[in-house]
Amino acid sequence: MPKRLKQLVVFFLVFFTIHQIIIISDGLIDDEKPDAEVAVILGSKVNEDGSLSPRLKARLDKGLELYRDSAVNQLYVSGGLGKEGFFEGSVIAEYFEANGVPTGAIKIDNHGTNTRQSAINFKRDYPSENSVILVSQYFHITRCKLAFRQVGVANAFGSHCNFFEKRDPYSAFREFFGFYKYLVLY
């Protein structure tokens, strides 16, 4: 391997490693007492029988915790129509309602098919809102913050759910490329 190519590979590996440390740290260290009225709960898989996947339930439990602790007054639930045939936003809202959150404190976005679209839809629904708490898996928080800042939400705070699974290293690896895709394209 030519020396220049080796240097390029080493540079990329160092850059990638530093970025991964930043993504993981940013995701695992929640922002302390953020000032926001709304928490955005980003959707995830709903099982074929309509039940919550463990990943989605963990996100909802974190959102419920934020609401019950009065960290936020509203929950914005965002997700698309999954291949299983359920609108994630509606399923999430049902869970919150079943757990005592008043319907008036929940805003449903059933067209948030990806992080970028959820951010766009949130800004459309809350045009004057400049602060938000984003709830997702730890590896997803950094890209979520970027997406919301790109649409004009200046203060995007993260709050990760307490759920870890075997596929997390793959998901964290993917986030590197997702982050730079958002950074370059939007």
pLDDT above 90 (res 151)? yes
Structural domain span for residue 69: 3-185
Q: What is the mean pLDDT of the chain?
A: 94
Q: In total, how many domains does the chain have?
A: 1
- CATH number, residue 65: 3.40.50.620
pTM value surpassing 0.95: no
Mean pLDDT of 125-133: 96
pLDDT above 90 (res 127)? yes
The pairing of beta strand 74-78 with beta strand 38-42? parallel
Q: Give the whole-number percent of the chain exceeding pLDDT 90.
A: 88
Can you say how many angstroms the Cα of residue 132 is from the centroid of all Cα atoms in its chain?
11
pLDDT above 80 (res 83)? yes
